[in-house]
Amino acid sequence: MSCEEVSCAELINLLEAHKKTIAVAESLTGGLLAAAFVEVPGASHVFRGGVCTYATDTKHSVLGVRERRLSATGPVDPEVAKQMAMGVRSLMDSDFALSTTGVAGPGPSDGHPAGTVFVACAWNGGSTSRQLNLSGERDQVRAGAVCGALALLSDLLKTELLASAR
């Protein structure tokens, strides 16, 4: 897994330098995001763990995503992504948490075309999500979702860690 603009090793170094931890909750990426972290030597200093909630009901039972939200929108939703990140942050007792949810393809699902992805990040200051509209085959969409989640974390770390250093 390589993301041209975001290095997982750099993110790990930044987290470690600020004594912060990270956890992940994954749906369509099925463990790829966790793997991106753990393939970096020294990741154990900051990576708390991950949860793969591929089935919709496990997003509620494991991560605490509200059933009402899942019933209303399905799993491909920005608020579901945020609740997944908040849930895994609490579950893993981490400073930051990322989540991925969406449609990898090959066809549409839950009324969304393949390539519709939401990534989110939760931290002590709140949570945010970002929609990605990715193209390509299933493996390309999944890889793009990982890169999108890492880019979101990179953007937030720069903002949040700089703010806390002041």
The number of C-alpha atoms within 13 Å of 38 and in the hemisphere containing its C-beta is 10
pLDDT score of 13: 95
Dump pLDDT digits (tens) for 112-148: 999 999 999 999 989 999 999 999 999 999 999 999 9
pLDDT score of 136: 96
Dump pLDDT digits (tens) for 32-64: 999 999 999 999 999 999 999 999 999 999 999
pLDDT score of 159: 87
Buried b (16+ CB within 10 A) or exposed e, 85-117: bbbbbebbebbbbbbbbbbbbeeebeebebbbb
pLDDT, mean over the chain? 94
Q: Which residue's structure tokens are 């750099």?
A: 10
Buried b (16+ CB within 10 A) or exposed e, 131-144: ebebeeeeeebbbb
- Sign of the CA dihedral running 1, 150, 44, 59: negative
Where is pLDDT greater, at 97 or 159?
97
pLDDT score of 3: 77
Q: Is the pLDDT of residue 109 over 60?
A: yes
| pLDDT category of residue 161 using cuts at 50, 70 and 90 | confident
pTM for this predicted structure: 0.96
